[in-house]
Amino acid sequence: TGSSDPYCIVKIDDEAIIRTATVWKTLSPFWGEEYEVHLQPTFHSISIYVMDEDALSRDDVIGKVCITRDMLEEHPKGYSGWMSLSEVDPNEEVQGEIHLQVEVVGSPGRRLRCAVLEAR
């Protein structure tokens, strides 16, 4: 139909911790959702999966972005900007970007502050 029903899942080290709302019938969703969660000191990566909700079958993965611990350490004030989606299945072509704001706040009890803004 030329549109998707996208939502995002945020995972820390492959554990799903956040699911955004679904934005119906669009290729340019706006979420504007912000989350703050406890971050284990030993975490390795944060992955954001952009999904396409499907009522009749399993939801499709549109693509993902991965933010490593090293990337966050390179941006001590946090990262804000557009990131290109990469494929989850090597046989699938992926196009698109997601606009994120990600930062680690607090010490010694560190928290991840993640704003999932929009995609295209």
Percent of the chain with pLDDT over 70: 98
Domain segments of the chain as ranges: 6-119
Pairing of strands 6-12, 45-52: antiparallel
- Phi, then psi, of 113 in degrees rounded to 5: -110, 120
CATH number of the domain at 6-119, please?
Answer: 2.60.40.150
List pLDDT tens digits, range 19-57.
999 999 999 999 999 999 998 889 999 999 999 999 899
Tokens of 47: 């992955």
List pLDDT tens digits, range 48-83.
999 999 989 999 999 999 999 999 889 988 999 999
Q: Work out the mean pLDDT of the chain and round it to a whole number.
A: 92
8 A C-beta contact, residue 3 and residue 53: no
Q: Cα torsion for 37, 42, 45, 46, to the nearest 10°?
A: 0
- Residue 99 bridge partners (DSSP): 82, 118
Look at residue 92 in the predicted model and tell me its pLDDT: 84
Quote the DSSP letter at residue 80. Answer: E
Q: Which of the four pLDDT bands, split at 50, 70 and 90, describes residue 109?
A: low
Q: What is the DSSP string of 29-83?
A: -EEEEEEEEE--TT--EEEEEEEE--SSSPPEEEEEEEEEHHHHHH-TT-EEEEE
Does the pLDDT at position 1 exceed 70?
Answer: no
